[in-house]
Amino acid sequence: MRAFIFPGQGSQAVGMGKALAEASPAARAVFEEVDEALGQKLSALMAEGPQEELTLTTNAQPAIMANAIATLRASGIDLAAKADFVAGHSLGEYSALCGAGAFDLATTARLLKLRGQAMQEAVPVGEGAMAALLGADLALAQAIADAAAEGEVCTVANDNDPSQVVISGHRGAVERALGIAKEKGAKRAVLLPVSAPFHCPLMQPAADRMAQALGDVAIAAPAVPVYANVTAAPVSDPAEIRRLLVEQVTGMVRWRESVAAMAAAGVTHFVELGGKVLGPMVKRIAPDVTVTSVITMDDIDALVGEI
Domain that holds residue 295: 2-122+202-306
CATH code of the domain covering residue 179: 3.30.70.250
If DSSP codes are grouped into helix, strand and coil, which group holds residue 175? Answer: helix
Last residue of a domain, one of 139, 168, 194: 194
Last residue of a domain, one of 161, 194, 227: 194
Q: Are residues 157 and 299 in the same domain?
A: no
CATH code of the domain covering residue 51: 3.40.366.10
Last residue of a domain, one of 139, 161, 194: 194
Q: Are residues 63 and 46 in the same domain?
A: yes
Number of domains in the chain: 2
Q: Are residues 136 and 43 in the same domain?
A: no
Among all residues, which ones are annotated catalytic? 90, 199
Of the pLDDT bands very low, low, confident and very high (cuts 50, 70, 90), residue 195 is confident
The pLDDT value recorded for residue 194 is 85
Of the pLDDT bands very low, low, confident and very high (cuts 50, 70, 90), residue 40 is very high
Which segments of the chain does DSSP mark as H helices, in order? Answer: 18-23, 25-38, 42-48, 51-55, 57-75, 79-82, 92-99, 105-122, 138-149, 171-183, 204-215, 238-250, 255-264, 278-285, 297-306
The pLDDT value recorded for residue 193 is 85
Tell me which DSSP letter residue 201 carries. Answer: G
Span 217-231, average pLDDT: 98
Q: Are residues 219 and 177 in the same domain?
A: no
Q: Are residues 207 and 185 in the same domain?
A: no
Task: Report yes or no: 228 and 196 within 8 Å, Cβ to Cβ.
Answer: no
CB atoms within 10 A of CB 13: 16
Q: What is the rounded average pLDDT for all residues in the chain?
A: 97
pLDDT digits (tens, 9 = 90+) for 132-186: 999 999 999 999 999 999 999 999 999 999 999 999 999 999 999 999 999 999 9
> Would the CA dihedral through 7, 158, 196, 140 be positive or negative?
negative
The pLDDT value recorded for residue 11 is 86
The pLDDT value recorded for residue 42 is 98
